Amino acid sequence: MRAPRVMFAVVPRRCAFWGAFAALLGSACFVEPPSVGVVADSTDAICADVEQPDDGPACPAICNGGCSERECQILCRPDQPCHGELACPQELACDVDCEGAGVCEGAVFTCPGDYACSLSCAGPSACGMTELECGFSECAIECGPDDTACTGTHVRCSHGACTAECVPGALPWLDGCEQACECSEC
């Protein structure tokens, strides 16, 4: 059995309100940052280390690109597009790769609750109007080389690091940056 995960956030302006709620969830707010060798100002947060999945069950069928290093690979291609709602397995990190024109258009991807998750979009409107629902770990999106690869795409950030890397003009929306421990938009 895995030890419970604790995420420390240094966000004094919200701690007064969220402190009791955070305590119930097993996380905490601090007026002073915990001693982890990082100096943070009043608007910074300290991200917890990314949790690695245990060696677990066999690779689920949704991982059509296989499972490598405890990460589910979901490949979306013109001959195998990904539309509708797709949930990454909860027991693995998840990497969704949308390569081709419109192959993930309108899809809603739900990340695992405790593990890293990424979405890569390459091709005209590859991830147009797509949503990526992040879990509590780090969450990332990569858009390009076409500047329409992520048109209308929304990344719903959670408490982990939330990052986007894009070619000029490809601008996904990162919703919830204020609650993420780190947020980096294009």
Partner residues linked to 174 by β-bridges: 155
Selection from 42-46, 57-61, 65-69, 103-107 with the highest mean pLDDT? 103-107
**Domain segments of the chain: what residues?**
1-46, 51-184
From CA 127, how far away is CA 105, in angstroms rounded?
A: 5
Tell me the pTM.
0.73
What is the structure's pLDDT at 25?
A: 34
Average pLDDT of span 144-162:
96
Average pLDDT of span 80-91:
97
What is the structure's pLDDT at 147?
A: 95
Place of tokens 């890293």: 116
17-25 own/partner pairs: CB under 8 Å, 24+ apart: none
What is the structure's pLDDT at 99?
A: 98
Partner residues linked to 173 by β-bridges: 154
What is the structure's pLDDT at 98?
A: 99
Among candidate residues 163, 102, 162, 90, the one with its CA nearest the CA of residue 127: 102
Is the pLDDT confidence value at 148 over 90? yes
> Collapsing DSSP states into helix, strand and coil, what is residue 186?
coil
Is the pLDDT confidence value at 40 over 70? no
